[in-house]
A and B are shown apart, each in its own frame.
Chain A
């Protein structure tokens, strides 16, 4: 993402989440978002297959007294 793209995205996403960004905080937020974007590029470039599922796995929860949670 280019710096203008980051600014546009950050402002739009903050508005969508109802997250006010004060003038004092916004430069730091843009800096850290740019850092995250660079790391996202790094992992986006990594080849994966459909077998590579996300590491998070949901564990269903049984009612109390009906075996393991």
Chain B
């Protein structure tokens, strides 16, 4: 009977609600860990989100939490993520697991000696790690069509992609396997899968969260962040994850700026505008409809434009290509055939880019950041589609956007790439009803360091019922 309760909690409540249930004694951390492991066992053969399940560790961690609660440990009782199961993209260091970053190349390498900082912070907040998640190899992709591990399937329609590169992270949350996951976003790898899987994703400001203890892709552009089924959960987790770490050269030494306590302020008093131009020209009708619905709910009638967005996207592309290629050059020299066929030739080409192109890209990037800063003098929050379209079928090679035939895999990031190029904080919020059966995300964007604003707006949209992240119904029926 209690196991049924834990299983129901897992798919019906968000992480904050689950922690409250543990705190109230309605369910134990151990029961939740079992429920998560059972749901993974039931559903993952169809989803393929997990590459490792850390069952022993999960049950030991949960038992330790329950033991602390049993003796009246008030510190344990107050933990914000008490007993909440979570999982991480397999580029996060997890003690005892080899950090694969989706690759075959890393498989023979030693296991991580310890957890990365963000995994440690989650555990210190009471969360229970249940495993590591599938991704595009070395994070270079938007579809999690991983040839070594097999593709991750979209829980809302398993014939379709979950998005990527953090596809396992998004699918695990949409499938109700865990309420929280962590992923990374260099050009859209949190926001794209959040959009296609219909869940909330937060890409914080560049430099906010430490990235040491994860496998890098593009040091100039890499971000880490959480996925969840509510904006409240994103805020709870983001607050737990914040804090400077000098071992990440890009991490900025700022005080922790909590966001959960200001969520209820909503969108009141915020100047909100929709991004036009490039962002409407590269979106299909369902993506534009989702933005219009969000704008209407927020009373946002203005449309504004950022200049030279295509050039910003080009800059992010070239920086990623060059840094990614250079990072993997030693393995590309000796074992190129072991790389993911879908990205190998891009990595090889990236290793050859002239330095002048990359330096120019970094200069254009700074210019574009200045233009955005100018725009943010007059507006607090910007809205744009997260992806040009809903989830394509796995294996799709081409999509059509505004009459243009474009390569599907690269084009899923057309709308996220210019924003991460300049490190702005973004919450991807899931919108239903703009397509016959699939969700699509909207980017809620703010000036640097204003994660509080994007989370307030996301929370407001959820309160209004405009943004929702239900667990996939098809799985509910089959489970």
Contacts and interface: CB of A to CB of B under 8 A. Distances in A.
Interface of A: 9-10, 13-14, 17-22, 25, 28-33, 35-36, 39-40, 42-44, 46, 48, 52-56, 59, 68-69
Given A25-B336, A32-B345, A43-B314, A10 B352 contact: yes
Contacts of A31: 345, 349
Contact of A69 (B246, B318, B354, B363): B246
A42 B308 CA distance: 10
B314 A33 contact: no
B311 interface: yes
A59 B308 CA distance: 29
Interface stretch (B24-32, B41-49, B365-373): B365-373
A42 B311 contact: yes
A39 B363 contact: no
B361 A43 contact: yes
Given A29-B352, A42-B311, A46-B311, 16 more contacts: A28-B349, A32-B345, A33-B349, A33-B352, A36-B317, A40-B354, A43-B318, A43-B357, A46-B308, A48-B363, A54-B362, A55-B220, A55-B362, A55-B369, A56-B220, A69-B246
Nearest to B341: A28
B64 interface: no
Interface string B134-158: 0000000000000000000000000
Contacts of A30: 349
Contact-residue bracket for chain B? 35 or more
B363 A14 contact: no
Contacts, number: 109
30 contacts: A17-B329, A17-B333, A19-B329, A19-B348, A19-B351, A20-B333, A20-B336, A22-B336, A22-B337, A25-B345, A31-B345, A31-B349, A33-B352, A36-B321, A36-B349, A36-B350, A36-B353, A39-B318, A40-B318, A43-B314, A46-B308, A46-B311, A46-B364, A48-B360, A48-B367, A52-B363, A52-B367, A54-B362, A55-B362, A55-B363
Contact of A59 (B249, B337, B361, B365): B249
Interface in B304-318: 308, 310-311, 314-315, 317-318
B57 interface: no
B333 A43 contact: no
Interface in B217-276: 220, 246, 249, 253
Looking at chain B's contact residues, the main secondary structure is helix
Given A40-B357, A43-B311, A29 B362 contact: no
A36 B249 CA distance: 28
B344 A28 contact: yes
Given A19-B348, A36-B353, A42 B310 contact: yes
B360 A43 contact: yes
A48 B364 contact: yes
B104 to A, nearest CB: 16
Contacts of B315: 43
Contacts of A33: 349, 352-353
B375 interface: no
B69 interface: no
B367 to A, nearest CB: 5
